[in-house]
Structure 1
């Protein structure tokens, strides 16, 4: 059905009046948009380099540096609001990143304490909410999550952060219908949380001393004994996600199909206690499939094979034993698929 036909039917139903509005959207080739964006980056860097050469002697003063950073952020916000051109948008992005860098440079002494990272987190959250750009919101949300981790690194909760961020990711994607009307603001935030959930799970690979060296000698709370609890929480979140989606699709939790799905999700959660990360990958795949997001599904599949490869590589067994283990795992997955297809066909038949 064309726009004209739809408008005519709406007029006949007396839902609209007047003529059909113009809906033609001018689309530029992707390579032209990329070229415009790169040109915006080059123009911004040359302009900012000239400005920094001029102000090089005053940047050491924290107050002046902070004022320059604030001016760059305000200018970037005004530019974002004024134009939707790819060139201008990328110019504003570089200007904003420069302003953020200046602000963080002005707070460089405060960053030795958690309070400094809380300042960075508040700035990033504010920019995430205000700046009308997908890329900017994604980068700002990612920086806010990183600053939150750095602010909490001296607290024992840091060892539960992967599970907490994963829980936040699950809530964000399961409630997509509620924020869909404001998706321009919330979608980049959700993608930033998703990538952060994958990245933060790598914290479980380190102990307090290794993390201390990795984070530039920041004081890290001892609490690696919480890592098993972190994996248990991730497994619980995975099983809860399966249960919520079963109810969303009007499947009674006491039905044979629901019981089979929940039992298999519990099996995966138990397997994830040994092969860490599998529950995270399966959660991403399930959310991507349920919400029709190919990006989430692709991230989940990629994460699954990466986590499985890591587990296979570090497994203290001979190559022959590892081969037997892979055969058993593949057989188990095929059996799970067969059971789900058979019970699903019976219920829907």
Structure 2
């Protein structure tokens, strides 16, 4: 547990928080509507990459300097600000006030375009940027140069083991009212798709019918060459059988607290997938249906209410896909770099 305080006057700026992994949809933008909070109450995460100004265009950086930063394919620009920004839920902040003149946004709130827009209420130092405009996940970003982390004497939240996580966790449904694909799924699949392409080594792969085919299948068919599939994409994780060595690529859950991927006992290529999305794919009927009554056979389930159906085909998020792919060393291979450049030049072409 930790509390973040102003580096100048030591005033507390947050509630007592426990650290979790940075969500994969952190920098994801979606539609033109208000989105919920990025972080769960009582948690914080740290972005290891630099953020904020100054920004430098790709033409100014060059491949060697970008690779030293862990970026292996062209991106529009890179931040050369301070790394280590801390993100918390807006409701977990304490003792801050808005800075007049830094509260611009697109249409419904603040988007952080003017830099830090919150100051310490005690001493007036700019300490954080609140973002709550449309298209953005609501979040408050603490400036790592303006705050300090103080250890909290309260008991540390234990790391939940995989079995407990599956037993107690709630999978995120893929479709939201009134029939749109979940933005969390679009971001999670976009990131996993980049890893999956790298694991394929450019060869066709097959996915099983159903929701996995709906979310990954179209993209793999569009981005990889046609032909007989030589590898299979399977779900693997706690409570599921181990994948087959060599022939399978395993989609495994990414732990929401530690960010570590589940590791099968078999030697197999693994692709991390956000845990709440993985759990809905792996255990789709554990929590939504209710036991049937009134003459239905024992053990038969029904959906109550009926599951929603999406209006159109699933589209992985392009920005998350390109962001992830550009940071995989495998993208330096010509075939994968070709996919990166094709999607970058035509970001709204099939399957995006």
Which band: TM-score by shorter chain?
A: under 0.3
Structure 1 length normalisation: TM-score? 0.26
Larger Rg: 1
Could you state the TM-score of these two structures normalised by the residue count of structure 2? 0.26
Please state which structure has a larger fraction of its residues in helix: 1
